[in-house]
Amino acid sequence: MKRLLACLLVSGFIYASFATDSRIIALGRHDAFFMDDYSIFRNPANASIYPNMMMASMGYYAQTQEEKNTNDEYAALRRTNRDPVRPWGGGILSYSFNQSAESGSQYPMFSMGVALNRHDEMLDYITPGEDVYEKIYMPDTDDIHDKDTLFNSISLPDPVGKFDVLLSYALKNGGMIGLGTYLAFQNDKINEYMRSSLYRINLGLNWPLAKSIDLEVSGGIGMVSAIGNVKDTAAGFDTLTLDTLAVFDEDYNMMARGDVRLFSALTVLNGDFVPHLGIKYADLNLFYQLQVALGFGININVDKGFGWAGAEFVYEDREKKALDETSTGFGGRIGFGFERNIIWDWFLLRGGLMKKLLYVTQQGEDKGYWEQNAEADASDDDFAGFGIGFNVENRLRIDCVLADDILYTFTNLISGPQHHLQTRFTFTFSF
């Protein structure tokens, strides 16, 4: 075991932290500048860093839009209960090819991971209500791309499956390679032909360039398809398919992403200096998006604590093809996060901030405006995050994201409408 720990120190991964999606959100909602176990879904090679581990999330819990907009003076007298949405879980099982009674499992090592029901970010492009979902403009004339009528009630089948399969191999020198796949699909032919599917593949590399420098490279492509029903009897339409409206046709639409990070150990700060380059690309029938993020940050380990800070330049190119609207955004993103054990070694308090600011220019028109992430709407991308964690013998780790108003009204349990104490609850267990 001592030799294994020495190898980890040399490869720079001693700073790797167990970071469920709850921990990432509480630490500033951005994990580009520190290593975490949730990164295995971007870079499957990282599964070898977290061998023999189970992970699960109860999903996220938030107020509905109706609850946010209510002006009911008797709302405090009504108690409601809703289950969180999008729970998921899985695990990683590893086998060492160099076992010994004295030193325990060592590289080379093979790891296989499976996650069930995880909502991949690429599904947002075909999920109504998400920010990157392109709304449909309903035809009330012969022109199906009429800009005057926005139609939101689109019926898309919810995909099933939603499972990841991860394969990772760690070489004797500490280098890691990995392959990951994600499958979600649905074909509904009972009433009308509808389809909703995503097929994605990721490749990853995590390689020691020197004793204190590690290179992480990952990339993936995805194919997404969606055909749904639009019903609006008032407008004289019974059923239309999304491919009829040219939103998605039956051919698969291409998406891609790539990430490059360099972890360079900083002995003075007991942490890492981390340059980062991230690219996201989606080319759908009615929507095009290219996002590039380039920046650097640091992460540091202190007594009973951890922190990170970073800044990135962000470029975004977007096009709504049906409306012939193209926009370009230039700006940046800055953030930081911290966590520390307080009172007891097993109890952690964490918090973080993330600010994204872009100047968006409408192409072909003399229009421009500033755009930022939400300040406080309890979403995963708003300004501030706050949470707690529990660490039992460095094996069982439980992470919670607390509701934004918990420090002010104890979530209105006494003074107003009741909703929730926390927005996420996740855990990992190492065995």
Name the nearest CA neighbour of 126 among 156, 98, 93, 149: 156
Say if residues 406 and 423 touch (Cβ distance below 8 Å): no
Look at residue 48 and give its three-state secondary structure: helix
pLDDT digits (tens, 9 = 90+) for 90-111: 999 999 988 774 655 578 999 9
Name the nearest CA neighbour of 134 among 27, 289, 262: 289
CATH number at residue 374: 2.40.160
Angle at 114 between CA 110 and CA 118, to 5 degrees: 145
pLDDT-based confidence at residue 390 (cuts at 50, 70, 90)? very high
Q: What are phi and psi of 60, to 5 degrees?
A: -115, 150
Look at residue 129 and give its three-state secondary structure: coil
pLDDT-based confidence at residue 428 (cuts at 50, 70, 90)? very high
Which domain range does residue 207 map to? 2-430
Residues facing residue 31 across a β-bridge: none
Residue 298 CA, chain-centre distance (Å), reads: 21
| Average pLDDT along the chain | 80
At 22, which helix (H) or strand (E)?
Answer: helix 21-26
Residues contacting 172, CB < 8 A, separation 6+? 98, 107, 108
pLDDT digits (tens, 9 = 90+) for 40-92: 999 999 999 999 999 999 988 866 655 555 555 555 555 566 778 899 999 99
Quote the number of domains for the chain. 1
Say if residues 41 and 118 touch (Cβ distance below 8 Å): yes
Preceding amide of 108 cis, omega within 30: yes
Mean pLDDT (whole number) for 228-236: 52
Look at residue 10 and give its three-state secondary structure: helix
